[in-house]
Structure 1
Amino acid sequence: MDSTTLPPRNGAVLDAAHVGDIRGALGTIKLGDAGHARGPMRRLKTLLAILGPGLIVMVGDNDAGAFSTYAQAGQNYGTTLLWTLALLIPVLYVNQEMVLRLGAVTGVGHARLILERFGRFWGAFSVVDLFLLNALTLVTEFIGIALGLDYLGIPRAPGVGIAAVLIMLAASTGDFRRFERFALSLVLGSLVLLPLFVMVHPPMGQLVRDFATVQMPRDGRLSDVMLLIIGIVGTTIAPWQLFFQQSYVIDKRITPRFIRYERLDLWLGIVLVVLGAVALIGLVAHCFAGKPEAGRFSDALAVARGLAQYHGHGAGTLFALALIDASVIGAAAVSLSTAYAVGDVLAVNHSLHRKPGEAKGFYLVYCGLIVLAAALVLLPGVPLGLLTNAVQTLAGVLLPSASVFLLLLCNDRQVLGPWVNGRWTNAFTSAVVAVLVILSTVLTAAVIFPDIGEDQIVAILVGGGLLALLIGLATLATRAHRAAALPRPRDDARPASPRQMEQWRMPPLHLLRPAQLTPTTRLWMGVLRLYLLLAVAMVVLRVLQLALA
């Protein structure tokens, strides 16, 4: 911890290491720096110091699971599913902007806020859910490393072991800046996809058309296509991202004054992640178009070999290197999101500014998950490709619950004060949750009725959309009636100036009034529990069906 670190006084910050200078990979901002001077160079230096959270969380999202899911979409269905990425861009921004705002304003991690505002059940559920899903996701990251090493001819056991040690050492120095430089070097390494894209040179006109045109593949069963779409959603907007970015923003010591810079950092990350995803789908689709392997995706290793066969050994090598790079940054981010969440809930030291001896529990969770995942990957007989795709689908069906709590927290004036969501953000996020639930309903129907036809699936989509619209209108009407009946509290008024907003921080947790949950909210939270049980059970059943087939 540097000498300028001060203990938290008037805020809810749980770890004293989260207060002090911002020591980013590309610059430093002193704690006492008023920062009111203007000018292009001053703003550029501030942006460079802030850059990191958005880039890391977004590029980390193009991890081993993403490589597998996007490659499957390209090999089995060409570029016909590129439009899903276009639709996910605003979802990515709105979700991650809400968590970065929560982090900068509250100084408290996502899991701890859920625990404090919604009770022990949902707090415990959020941590256990995150822990299990992240553990499975970590296995997929080391699967990606193992497959990349296999292609390069490097023995799997020592290669996976070296990668695990590297990931653990990068975060265990007690120097936040050193870890961020490591992570941003991996972000830079992700650009290896650009020369690979040039080597394969898929037709740009077709990529642009399919990116902008909603269509469904003509080949393949619709239930399988819907399963893959849910997987794309789950790998592009994974629950761990919410927990990671909120805690990483806090650990970097970013305050409300820097939210506009962090939003730009997020947009840069979104551009990189979408370009990478489009490149992956496009180059794999072009590589296998008209070839015997078309429609027969197995895993990322087979993709690398196919690229080598049709576009030269260099193409396969670049793909393997990009896969390893993506898997390493994904493993580091997923492990950190879990360690941050556990540290937040247990209120123990949890910061990259601390050395292992100062935050034993934090580093034990971080390193323990990595060791466990690496060991599982080395066991013989593990169905690597199936496990990877199953994790992305599971993330897709669990995302609605994470989005619901995110939405509730961002409308809690005790938590965010003047930074609460606006009307349009609430409407958009509610619509996203509704769409995710409808997609999960389609998945459930496809499991129960394997021979379900296109007409039935369309009926579910249309019927679910109309039902969601009616529920939304009823909710708006109820809120409008309640707002008209109750006087607005004086402390809900927005500050008169941006300067006051920059200085507003959430008070310590013990000073907050209990969360006011309406009967309607409690009803829907009960429905959410039922949805989670059914959706997870259907995913497990569907994966078992595919494994047996």
Structure 2
Amino acid sequence: MSNMKIETAVLDSAHVGDIRGAFGTIRHDDIAPRKGWWQRFKTLMAILGPGLIVMVGDNDAGAFSTYGQAGQNYGTMLLWTMALLIPVLYVNQEMVLRLGAVTGVGHARLIIERFGKFWGAFSAIDLFILNALTIVTEFIGISLGMEFLGVPKVAGVCVAAVFIMLAASTGDFRRFERFALILVVGSLLLVPIFVMIHPPMAQVAHDFFIPQLPADGKLSEVLLLIIGIVGTTVAPWQLFFQQSYLIDKRITPRFIQYERADLWLGIAMVVIGAVAMIAFTAQVFVGNPEFGQFTDAGAIATGIAKYHGRLPGVLFAIALIDASIIGAMAVSLSTAYALGDVLNLKHSLHRKPSDAKGFYLMYCGLIALAAALVLIPGVPLGLLTNAVQTLAGVLLPSATVFLLLLCNDKEVLGPWANKRFTNVITAVIVAVLVLLSIILTAAVAFPDMSGETITNILIGGGLVGLVIAIAVNVLHARKEVDDGLLPENTVTFTQQMMYSWRMPPLAQLKPMVLSQRNRIWMGVLRGYLVVAMGMVIYKVIQLALA
């Protein structure tokens, strides 16, 4: 064991020690097997947190706006997007939790170390810009919720900003996690709203499982919204946050199975919240003058109160504030963690602010800046919020490609590297996400494109992506056999060996050598995403002027 400690790649000493979760403690030297349901339950309760926080944290102000727009403008017709996103949520976040538990090093630092400063800079710039904009949208949500409740905007935003700063600045990881999980429970306020408004369950179930596109909507606007739903449900910041938070919680490979259970609980909560929001918003506005006239989440609260009474409107406003606070905390932390990783700063919630000045300065600075920007008058709040979610959806393929390459890096993950099935599924996900961006670009250029054409492109493109992904993995397997890597030279790892395997220090890793083909594809993807981002910005400006 002592040798393992010497060989750790962990960058901050505060990331090693007892797991002190919100609902239990696991000692660092506790390697005993968990026998019986009670021992397993107590272990799960101690591990619980990273998956729940990262998932529910993404049902934030942007989600309220994006899901609300889907329901108010198109009824329940886009509910099917949530069903399709369930495997995307799990595959992406499961790869990230493995990276965190096995490596002990944050996502941003791994990208820089394995792909070089050029690609690391691209990823870091994407993250910092998108995160800063996302935090602004969280304060937009807070201001809209406070306004509905009759709280003055300036006072509400300032109090919330101070509250968010203090919540993470106690130097006590357990205290922060308990507070965050209280906010997670608060997200369940959407369920009683759903019950009070009672949308038709048969219609909700049908539209959840049967893909369709609205016949009477402008195609480019519908696609902009679909990509926004993707971006708000599976945002790039989630990858950086969960990996770093899991490291800060001191999770090791021994507890990966428990962390997967935590992740599934989080996915269940995020899907329940999203479906409830789209469904009850549709029920409120379909058949009323406001249908198809989305402005922002505050107007949704007003509409709920107008047609179904003050109580569900108040609950919606409180849920919006709750979601915005947990979102602001998580997104700011993901940025501060990434900065600490890249700059070799102390970066842990176990440390007092006096012991990790740079980490807490970045966290509090982002909160203060976002709060100040929201107080500028005349900003189109709903449009800005949805634009940020759409940009997140466009940038997601790039983040997923880096994640996929890292999870196939045997130097980084060793026996925990991806299996071929995960690679195939992830490759198809990337292909579909890129297809959505391509279709958006085409819809902006050719606004008369039909919904049937879009559906055919998505189905055909998805099948082509699946075939290509399978073919690439088969060729890769053949190459391994030809190179003598399979099967006789493959080491068989026992469960105990898997649990104890950790990534060596970064300086000891063999350099990653990207093939010319991979470099070309990564360059093409990056170039295309720049074009797609330009198209999104153009469309958003067009909508703003309209």
C-alpha spacing 1:494/1:252, structure 2 compared with 1 (3 Å):
farther
What does 1:369-518 correspond to in 2, within 5 Å?
A: 369-454=366-451, 456-458=453-455, 460-461=457-458, 464-465=461-462, 467-469=464-466, 471-472=468-469, 474-488=471-485, 493-518=490-515
| Contact 2:218–2:447 (Cα < 8 Å) also in 1 | no
C-alpha spacing 1:92/1:469, structure 2 compared with 1 (3 Å):
closer
1:302 maps to what in 2? 299
1:109 and 2:106 aligned: yes
Question: What is the alpha-carbon distance in structure 2 between the residues aligned to residue 96 and residue 480 of structure 1?
Answer: 25
1:217 and 2:214 aligned: yes
Most deviating of 37-46 and 492-501: 492-501
Question: What is the alpha-carbon distance in structure 1 between the residues aligned to residue 41 and residue 291 of structure 2?
Answer: 47
Most deviating of 176-185 and 514-523: 514-523
What does 1:51-130 correspond to in 2, within 5 Å?
A: 51-130=48-127
1:44 maps to what in 2? 41
1:145 maps to what in 2? 142
Q: Deviations over 1:26-80 (max 9, x none)?
A: 1111111123241221111111000000000000010000000001111111111
Partner of residue 28 from structure 1, selected from 22, 25, 29: 25
1:363 and 2:360 aligned: yes
2:540 maps to what in 1? 543
Deviation of 1:469 (Å): 4.6
Deviation of 1:538 (Å): 1.0
C-alpha spacing 1:418/1:492, structure 2 compared with 1 (3 Å):
farther
SS in 1 for 2:20: strand
C-alpha spacing 1:393/1:491, structure 2 compared with 1 (3 Å):
farther
Deviation of 1:166 (Å): 0.7
2:223 maps to what in 1? 226
Question: What is the alpha-carbon distance in structure 2 between the residues aligned to residue 390 and residue 201 of structure 1?
Answer: 30
| Contact 2:415–2:493 (Cα < 8 Å) also in 1 | no
2:518 maps to what in 1? 521
Deviation of 1:459 (Å): 5.5
Most deviating of 228-237 and 210-219: 210-219
Question: What is the alpha-carbon distance in structure 1 between the residues aligned to residue 292 and residue 383 of structure 2?
Answer: 16
Question: What is the alpha-carbon distance in structure 1 between the residues aligned to residue 485 and residue 514 of structure 2?
Answer: 17
Question: What is the alpha-carbon distance in structure 2 between the residues aligned to residue 139 and residue 456 of structure 1?
Answer: 36
1:3 maps to what in 2? none
| Contact 2:420–2:473 (Cα < 8 Å) also in 1 | no
| Contact 2:139–2:157 (Cα < 8 Å) also in 1 | yes
Question: What is the alpha-carbon distance in structure 2 between the residues aligned to residue 184 and residue 252 of structure 1?
Answer: 14
Query: What TM-score do the two structures reach when normalised by structure 1?
Result: 0.96
Q: Deviations over 1:461-514 (max 9, x none)?
A: 356446535643552354244223212189973443111100000000000001
SS in 1 for 2:57: helix
Deviation of 1:199 (Å): 1.0
Question: What is the alpha-carbon distance in structure 1 between the residues aligned to residue 491 and residue 160 of structure 2?
Answer: 49
| Contact 1:298–1:385 (Cα < 8 Å) also in 2 | yes
Which residue identity does 1:152 align to in structure 2?
Answer: L
Question: What is the alpha-carbon distance in structure 2 between the residues aligned to residue 242 and residue 492 of structure 1?
Answer: 33
Which residue identity does 1:169 align to in structure 2?
Answer: L
1:287 maps to what in 2? 284
Which residue identity does 1:414 align to in structure 2?
Answer: E
SS in 2 for 1:23: strand
1:265 and 2:262 aligned: yes
Which residue identity does 1:72 align to in structure 2?
Answer: Q
2:16 maps to what in 1? 19
1:192 maps to what in 2? 189
Question: What is the alpha-carbon distance in structure 2 between the residues aligned to residue 243 and residue 9 of structure 1?
Answer: 26
Query: What TM-score do the two structures reach when normalised by structure 2?
Result: 0.97
C-alpha spacing 1:282/1:357, structure 2 compared with 1 (3 Å):
same
1:334 and 2:320 aligned: no
Most deviating of 328-337 and 438-447: 438-447
1:169 and 2:134 aligned: no
Question: What is the alpha-carbon distance in structure 1 between the residues aligned to residue 526 and residue 78 of structure 2?
Answer: 31
Question: What is the alpha-carbon distance in structure 1 between the residues aligned to residue 407 and residue 475 of structure 2?
Answer: 19
Question: What is the alpha-carbon distance in structure 2 between the residues aligned to residue 197 and residue 499 of structure 1?
Answer: 46
SS in 2 for 1:91: helix
Which residue identity does 1:227 align to in structure 2?
Answer: L
| Contact 1:99–1:242 (Cα < 8 Å) also in 2 | yes
Unaligned runs of at least 5 residues, structure 1? 1-5
Question: What is the alpha-carbon distance in structure 1 between the residues aligned to residue 85 and residue 463 of structure 2?
Answer: 21
| Contact 1:495–1:501 (Cα < 8 Å) also in 2 | no
Q: Deviations over 1:390-416 (max 9, x none)?
A: 001000000000000000000000000
SS in 1 for 2:30: coil
Q: Deviations over 1:291-330 (max 9, x none)?
A: 1111111111111010000000111101100000000000
C-alpha spacing 1:40/1:481, structure 2 compared with 1 (3 Å):
closer
Q: Deviations over 1:379-438 (max 9, x none)?
A: 011111110000010000000000000000000000000001111100000000000000
Q: Deviations over 1:71-101 (max 9, x none)?
A: 1111111111111101111110111000000
Deviation of 1:15 (Å): 0.3
| Contact 2:19–2:46 (Cα < 8 Å) also in 1 | yes
Question: What is the alpha-carbon distance in structure 2 between the residues aligned to residue 137 and residue 259 of structure 1?
Answer: 29
| Length, aligned pairs only | 544
1:352 and 2:349 aligned: yes
Question: What is the alpha-carbon distance in structure 2 between the residues aligned to residue 287 and residue 379 of structure 1?
Answer: 31
| Contact 1:62–1:276 (Cα < 8 Å) also in 2 | yes
Question: What is the alpha-carbon distance in structure 1 between the residues aligned to residue 486 and residue 356 of structure 2?
Answer: 41
Question: What is the alpha-carbon distance in structure 1 between the residues aligned to residue 21 and residue 538 of structure 2?
Answer: 45
Unaligned runs of at least 5 residues, structure 2? none
Question: What is the alpha-carbon distance in structure 1 between the residues aligned to residue 340 and residue 487 of structure 2?
Answer: 35
SS in 2 for 1:61: coil
